Structure 1
Amino acid sequence: MKKAKITAYIDAALFDEIDEMAARRRVPKTQVIEAALASFLSPDSAEQSEAAIVRRLDRLTRSLERLERDQEITTEALALFVRFWLTTTPPLPDDTHAAAKAKGKERYGGFVQTLAKRLAKGSNLTKELSRDLPASAD
Structure 2
Amino acid sequence: MTLLDTLTADMKTAMKAKDKATLSVIRMLKASVSNEQIKLGHDLSNEEEVAVLSRELKQRVEERDSYQAGDRPELAAAIDEQMDVVKRYMPAQMSEEEVEAIVKETVASVGATQKSDMGKVMGALMPKVKGKADGKLVNDLVQKYLN
TM band (smaller chain): under 0.3
Q: TM-score, normalised by structure 1?
A: 0.25
Larger gyration radius, structure 1 or structure 2: 1
Q: TM-score, normalised by structure 2?
A: 0.24
For CA contacts below 8 A with separation 6 or more, give which structure has more relative contact order.
Answer: 2
